[in-house]
């Protein structure tokens, strides 16, 4: 699975939007972009995933660059509960079964 | 809601003991996974299983074995626990095919201390 690069940490104010970047310059045509997050003292949880088009769900939005070499996870209004480590992961859509988790981005949300 | 349940949140064992970590999922998922998580190293895959009695080595299988006798249960075994196996252990499950295979569901984790 191709590698991703994320900032180590980011800070946001409560109720403001948060844009979490991820670079994946070696992405292949069949790699899906996945985002998971891990709240303190919990296992990771699924946030969103996409292939080429931007995606929205009740938790977040995923904006994918046209060349697919980068993507951005958007939390529209950060809450204190969104403080977590966010992982951007690539996985082959056809053959991939497991995920390779990098160090992720630690998001702090300030009241 | 999908539930992945790990038998213990905290476990303390002695060096040389045989340790069993149990994981059960209730969504009839084909795939199950064991990871360990250490500060600065992220999550690393130990073993995974894509069917009953099937197993595949992950990135760090040394010192571990697994058992999958039933679809819903995946056990991680430390044959002779050592202090460098002190870690947080996370179990996950997912479907094997279809769009839903993109979603892994994780348990809350077992924090194992080997003294």
| pLDDT digits (tens), chain A, 111 positions | 568 999 999 999 999 999 999 999 999 888 899 999 999 889 999 999 999 999 999 999 999 999 999 999 999 999 999 999 999 998 876 666 677 888 899 999 999
CB pairs under 8 A between A and B: 51
HSE, CB side, 13 Å, CA atoms: give it for residue B58.
Answer: 25
pLDDT at B102: 72
Fill in the DSSP letter of residue A5. Answer: B
* Residue of B12, B31, B35, B8 whose CA lies nearest to B21: B8
Residues of chain B short of pLDDT 50, as ranges, are none
Q: Distance between CA B112 and CA B82 in Å, rounded? A: 11
Q: Which of B42, B45, B58 sits opposite A103 (nearest CB)?
A: B42
B96 touches chain A (CB under 8 A): yes
Scanning A1-111, the segments in alpha helix (DSSP H) are none
Token representation of residue A105: 């981005």
Contact A47, A40 (CB under 8 A): no
A42 touches B at CB < 8 Å: yes
Shortest Cα distance, chain A CAs vs residue B80, angstroms: 26
Q: Is A34 at the interface with chain B, CB within 8 A? A: yes
With an 8 Å Cβ cutoff, is B58 touching chain A? yes
Cβ separation B108–A41 shorter than 8 A? yes
Distance CA B94, CA A45 (A): 12
Q: Please tell me if residue A46 touches chain B, with a CB cutoff of 8 Å.
A: yes
Within 10 angstroms of residue B79's Cβ, the number of other Cβ atoms is 11
| B44, B48, B103 ranked by CB distance to A97: nearest | B48
CA distance A58 to A37: 15
The token pair at A69 is 């070499």
In chain B, residues with a C-beta closer than 8 Å to the C-beta of A103 are 40, 42
- Give B100's DSSP letter: G
Q: A103 — phi, psi (to 5°)?
A: -75, -20
Looking at the DSSP bridge assignments, the partners of residue A75 are A18
Sheet with B4-6: strands ordered across:
B4-6, B19-25, B73-78, B65-70
Write down the pLDDT at residue A94.
65
* Res B42: pLDDT: 83
């Amino acid at each position: 699975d191709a590698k991703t690069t994320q900032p180590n940490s980011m800070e946001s104010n409560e109720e403001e939007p948060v844009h979490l970047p991820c670079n994946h310059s070696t992405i292949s045509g069949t790699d899906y972009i996945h985002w998971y997050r891990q709240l303190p003292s919990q296992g990771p949880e699924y946030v969103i995933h996409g292939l080429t088009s931007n995606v929205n769900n009740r938790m977040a939005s995923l904006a994918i660059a046209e060349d697919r070499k980068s993507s951005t996870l958007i939390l529209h209004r950060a809450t204190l509960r969104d403080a977590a480590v966010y992982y951007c992961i690539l996985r082959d859509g056809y053959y991939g079964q497991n995920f390779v988790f990098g160090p992720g981005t630690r998001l702090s949300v300030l009241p | 809601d999908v539930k992945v349940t790990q038998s213990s949140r905290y476990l303390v064992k002695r060096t040389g003991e045989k340790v069993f970590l149990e994981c059960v999922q209730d969504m009839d998922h084909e795939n199950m996974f064991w990871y360990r998580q250490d500060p600065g190293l992220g999550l690393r895959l130990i073993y995974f299983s894509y069917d009953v009695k099937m197993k595949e080595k992950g990135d760090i299988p040394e010192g571990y074995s697994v058992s999958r006798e039933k679809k819903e249960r995946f056990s991680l075994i430390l044959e002779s626990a050592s202090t460098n196996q002190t870690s947080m252990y996370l179990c996950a499950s997912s479907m094997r095919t279809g769009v839903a295979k993109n979603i892994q569901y994780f348990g809350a984790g077992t924090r194992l201390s080997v003294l």
